[in-house]
Amino acid sequence: MMRQYELVERVRRYNPNTDESLLDRAYVYAMRAHGTQKRASGDPYFSHPLEVAAILTDLKLDDATIVAALLHDTIEDTDATRDEIDRIFGAQIGALVEGLTKIKKLDLVSKQAKQAENLRKLLLAIADDVRVLLVKLADRLHNMRTLKWVPEEKRNRVAQETLDIYAPLAGRMGMHDMREELEDLSFRQLSAEAYESIRSRLQALKEHNGELVAAIERELSDAVANRGIGALVKGREKRPYSIWRKMELKSIAFEQLSDIYGFRILVDRMEDCYAALGVVHTKWPLVPGRFKDYISTPKQNDYRSIHTTVVGPGRQRVELQIRTREMHDIAEYGIAAHALYKDAPGVAAPGNRESNAYAWLRRTIELLAEGSSPEEFLEHTKLELFHDQVFCFTPKGRLIILPRRATPIDFAYAVHTGVGDRAVGSKVNGKVSPLVSELHNGDEVEIITAEGQTPPAAWESIVATGKARAAIRRATRAAVRAQYAGLGKRIVERAVARAGKVFSEERLAGVVPRLARTSLDDVYAAVGRGEMRADDVVKAIYPEWAGPRVEERGAPHGEGWFELERGQSLKFKIPGIESDPDPKTAIPIRGINRELPVHFAPNGGAVPGDRIVGILTPGEGITVYPIQSPALQEFEEEPERWLDVRWDVDEDDPQRFPVQIVVVATNEPGSLAQIAQVIGERDGNIENLRMSSRSADFTRMVIDIGVYDLRHLNGILADLRARPVVSSVERVNG
């Protein structure tokens, strides 16, 4: 275990002005706090925070970060408190330690929900100070290095979480060395057989190729040096997980891989990068499609480098990365390489620019924090972390970076949430393109918008970015809530009118707390969803109101006999429904629209001209039935769900309504064509058709059609009955 003076010495190597007293206090405090606690390996628990601190000294981080690493488990696992840490070490370090403390008391059903809530807390802390992330990644790295001591049933869960969240997060922050080690350690646990197979093949390849890597290094070095460019050429073998992922992605065998070895050319100046590239491309042929310039167009995590692949010495494919030494530091250590976080961590010092990686992370966290559930948050986090990138442009030349398989919908939401919500079409490279098409590097994308547009819920399964998915869910929830609120308001207004009172939103606003809601919209939405009775709202507004009379709530205003198929008859009550709907109290129905959550009877439908009844179903809105529907029997004992509704058809904007008919026709060629011809000539629209044979001579057809009103339907039925091939035709009153 590293001693106190050894830790101080490690920090002093890169920071001669380190606060030795602060480091000493933290070392002693953490050692005493953890006391006799042991790790699963049997080592003193204090060895873990000490190793985490050591990892961070390799990244040359500031004193506060090293101290936070030493203390990161004290609040969670010992009797230490945030107040005590603030008092001894200062509020800044206290905030870092608090951000690294898991939420212990979570009353959540699933482990996934608990995992997501802890991740949410961590990311929100990271948004305030990036050093929280650096400590957490170092913490996870040491835990993965010692994973073999963890109980077996827990290992796979920790490894999968690392592969899903922490390794991609390190990559997004540009910390590629740490990402690769986290990926390899996870891969070794989750797929031990595959890991060992690739590792043994790499070893065999290394023995077979002998001095190949060294020979290529020398030839590259000589070629660049001969042009007067000072450069360091380094070759390296790719890691097992990187090889495995490429094999999986391209569905190829290990023997088919041609770029197992990679080489880096490190130069002093940016101009030298392009000069070295010229040397390489004039000496060896380029492999088409394998050139990328991330210096001209850096990645979101500030990664800058030139990538190319050539057919090099010995006809070997050689994968090259060309960059400056400064670019290399950022490529290896990411945000930890920025002086900004060493000199004034978490605070943008004058003249310093926040790294793109951290700026991206903070924007992403702001979006993720709006997730409606822990599971949704976790899903969005994975979406944002996993994907590689494509670079697209707006018509004005603004660069938009998106994940692979992104669509114009993702592009629209990346530009602005409002643009995504209003998107109705797109042009890619000047040509009209579907919103669901896949974008590629260099595409110029123009989004066509329309006011009043709401994104379809189906877009959620199409998009590739967490931002787009979260925005679509939000817009869908808002649209549904607006529907229920609109319905609820109409129900409340009509309930107040039936009570003989005057509706006043001001009076309702004053009693919102009594209804256990926080706003008028909450009240309306609760009524619209069927979670709250309209009569209860009326009583809250007018306490003196005695409530509906018994006959109003349960006894029928009318009852009747209704003829059904095959001469059957049915008599049932119509609770609380007026014989002639009052335009002032009946809810107007114009069909399926965005104003109200309205559905029509699943079997039979309803059309203007029918006497109709609305049934309120919690969470679904109003289902409209024709008054003769036998399905209404099911609701006879629930009078509170019955709503007085009326048609409100716009004659200037005719709309079809659903209805179901049953046709029994002779079983002969052309009978279906004749039936379809009648419906089409009458301007009906066939929406669904089901056929079954009742006998060798007749076929029964159940047809869902759209018609304008009852007169239109009756005309279609009359024309069908006139056809010789039709034995009978009846409307279904489901």
Give pLDDT, residue 467.
Answer: 82
Read off the pLDDT band of 305 (50, 70, 90). Answer: very high
Give pLDDT, residue 46.
Answer: 93
CB 655 within 8 A of CB 708: yes
Read off the pLDDT band of 169 (50, 70, 90). Answer: confident
* pLDDT exceeds 60 at position 389: yes
Name which of 197-206, 593-602, 607-616, 713-722 the model is least confident about: 593-602
Q: What region does 576 belong to: left with phi over 0, alpha with psi -120 to 50, or beta?
A: left
Instruction: Give me the mean pLDDT over the 317-338 stretch.
Output: 84
**What letter represents residue 344's amino acid?**
A
Q: What are residue 379's phi and psi, to 5 degrees?
A: -60, -45
Read off the pLDDT band of 170 (50, 70, 90). Answer: confident
pLDDT tens digits, 136-164: 899 999 999 999 998 888 899 899 889 88
CB 487 within 8 A of CB 596: yes
pLDDT tens digits, 613-671: 888 877 677 888 888 788 888 887 776 678 777 787 777 778 888 889 999 998 888 89
Query: When comparing pLDDT for 592 and 399, which is higher?
Result: 399
Query: When comparing pLDDT for 256 and 554, which is higher?
Result: 256
CB 556 within 8 A of CB 573: yes
Strand segments (E) across 641-707: 642-643, 645-647, 657-666, 685-693, 698-707
Give pLDDT, residue 118.
Answer: 66
Read off the pLDDT band of 120 (50, 70, 90). Answer: low
Read off the pLDDT band of 445 (50, 70, 90). Answer: very high
Q: What is the DSSP string of 94-134?
A: HHHHHHTS-------SSHHHHHHHHHHHHHHHHHH-THHHH
* pLDDT exceeds 80 at position 697: yes
Query: When comparing pLDDT for 350 and 200, which is higher?
Result: 200
Read off the pLDDT band of 362 (50, 70, 90). Answer: low
Using alpha carbons, list the distances in angstroms from residue 8 to 55, 97, 242, 337, 593: 13, 20, 36, 21, 69
* pLDDT exceeds 90 at position 21: yes
* pLDDT exceeds 50 at position 512: yes
CB 89 within 8 A of CB 71: yes
Structure tokens at 336: 């930890």
What is the chain's mean pLDDT, rounded?
80
Read off the pLDDT band of 477 (50, 70, 90). Answer: confident
Give pLDDT, residue 171.
Answer: 82
C-alpha Rg value of the chain to the nearest Å? 35
* pLDDT exceeds 80 at position 176: yes
Structure tokens at 359: 């700026």
The sign of the torsion formed by the CA atoms of 466, 471, 477, 480 equals negative
Residues with catalytic roles: 76-77
Name which of 357-366, 443-452, 705-714 the model is least confident about: 357-366
Distance CA 462, CA 258 (A): 34
Element (H, E) at 72: none
* pLDDT exceeds 60 at position 372: no
Give pLDDT, residue 32.
Answer: 94
* pLDDT exceeds 60 at position 592: no
pLDDT tens digits, 85-101: 999 999 999 998 988 87
Give pLDDT, residue 374.
Answer: 54
The C-alpha angle with vertex 707 and arms to 584 and 703, in degrees rounded to 5, equals: 130
Give pLDDT, residue 609.
Answer: 84
pLDDT tens digits, 240-257: 888 888 888 777 777 667
Name which of 238-242, 312-316, 336-340 the model is least confident about: 336-340
* pLDDT exceeds 90 at position 589: no
3-state secondary structure of 522: helix
CB 60 within 8 A of CB 15: yes
Give, as one character, the DSSP assignment of residue 462: T
Read off the pLDDT band of 109 (50, 70, 90). Answer: very low
- Domains annotated for the chain, with CATH where assigned, are 4-186 (1.10.3210.10), 195-337 (3.30.460.10), 475-548 (no CATH), 552-647 (no CATH), 657-731 (3.30.70.260)
Helix ranges, 16-166 (H): 20-34, 47-58, 63-71, 74-77, 82-89, 91-99, 111-128, 131-145, 152-161
- Spatial neighbors of 608 by CB under 8 A, at least 6 apart, are 647, 649, 657, 708, 709, 710
pTM of the model: 0.56
